[in-house]
Amino acid sequence: MALPVVSEFSLNGYLSLIESIRGQGYQVKRYAEASSSARHLILRHDVDFDLDQAVRMAEAEAQTGVIATYFILLRTEMYNALSGEGAKAVIRLAELGHDVGLHFDATLHAPTKAALAVAVREEAGVLSGIVRKVVNVFSFHRPSPDVLNDEVQVEGMINAYNEQFFRAFGYCSDSQGAWRHGPPLAHPVLAEGRGFHLLTHPIWWTGEPNASPQQKLESFLKRRIELLDREIQRNCRAYRSTIQANSSKSA
């Protein structure tokens, strides 16, 4: 009998990737405790689209005893980490034992190192208030080369894009639902036994295993529209009455 095919970009595919790396002697570490000269693996997730998908990934990781860092945007149109449901999801990530970091969009601020450092600290303070834990690590969302080269330093915080994590560690990232810079298991750092910094975006790993990246985004959009529809109904009686009248007509 043929074995079921495990789509690489699925939760099972992700867990077996982590198992393969751990099978090469790697230990999963948090940013603050990871060393580039040891077989240490940092699991980083930038949450660009969907907090619920991040929670699904976090639960799967927690079940296998793996700790990751989830970077959360505060200033995005995709989700609201301050809303009731959004905050619940962010708190859940922390309750599962994962670290919560700030995902920061530098394009919304003045492009100077000093201004960016102030804004990172402010946003990290807001995020700390949600998770009720100190947020001391941040990553940039879609950083420009200038932002990367500038090495923004914030006292007491770790920049996940600083020289150490970006160059001393082997670095590998998914992009738009694929390994555009080569698959992680082929990364030379594994053979060298140095630290490995792996960035994945939950949206590409959750949902229907065989769905294309386009379908995963469409599914996310559908869920957002349904959520907004429910919220409009909750907040506006006239809208709710019209929806109910239309659905009874078509029944």
- We find the least distance from the C-beta atom of residue 57 to Zn ion, in angstroms, to be 15
What the block records as the tokens of 154 is 């914030």
Q: Per CB under 5 A, which region of 75-83, 140-148, 170-178, 180-188 contacts Zn ion?
A: 140-148
Q: Per CB under 5 A, which region of 43-51, 52-60, 127-135, 160-168 contacts Zn ion?
A: 43-51
- We find the least distance from the C-beta atom of residue 23 to Zn ion, in angstroms, to be 29
Q: Per CB under 5 A, which region of 45-53, 87-95, 170-178, 212-220 contacts Zn ion?
A: 45-53
Residue in 39, 40, 45, 141 binding Zn ion, rule: CB under 5 A? 141
Q: Which residue is nearest to Zn ion (CB)?
A: 141
Q: Per CB under 5 A, which region of 23-31, 44-52, 121-129, 173-181 contacts Zn ion?
A: 44-52
**For tokens 């295993």, what's the residue?**
209
Residue in 11, 40, 44, 46 binding Zn ion, rule: CB under 5 A? 46
**In this structure, what are the phi and psi dihedrals at residue 178, rounded to the nearest 5 degrees?**
-150, 165
Q: Per CB under 5 A, which region of 47-55, 189-197, 202-210, 229-237 contacts Zn ion?
A: 47-55
80: how many CB neighbours lie within 10 A of its CB?
A: 14
When the beta carbons of 46 and 123 are compared against Zn ion, the nearer one is 46
When the beta carbons of 86 and 209 are compared against Zn ion, the nearer one is 86
- We find the least distance from the C-beta atom of residue 46 to Zn ion, in angstroms, to be 4
- We find the least distance from the C-beta atom of residue 145 to Zn ion, in angstroms, to be 16
When the beta carbons of 166 and 240 are compared against Zn ion, the nearer one is 166
How many chain residues interact with Zn ion (CB under 5 A)?
A: 3
- We find the least distance from the C-beta atom of residue 179 to Zn ion, in angstroms, to be 17
62 CB contacts (<8 Å, ≥6 apart)? Answer: 96, 97, 98
CA angle 231, 237, 243 (to 5 degrees): 75
CB 42 within 8 A of CB 34: yes
Q: How far is CA 32 from CA 28, 100, 148, 181, in A?
A: 12, 13, 20, 26
When the beta carbons of 8 and 48 are compared against Zn ion, the nearer one is 48
CA angle 19, 20, 26 (to 5 degrees): 80
Residue in 8, 22, 38, 48 binding Zn ion, rule: CB under 5 A? 48
SS (HEC) of 183-234: CHHHCHHHHHCCCEEEEECHHHCCCCCCCCHHHHHHHHHHHHHHHHHHHHHH
- Burial profile 121-132: b = 16 or more Cβ within 10 angstroms, e = fewer: bebbeebeebbe
- We find the least distance from the C-beta atom of residue 22 to Zn ion, in angstroms, to be 26
Sign of CA dihedral 164, 167, 171, 173: positive
Residue ranges binding Zn ion (CB under 5 A):
46, 48, 141
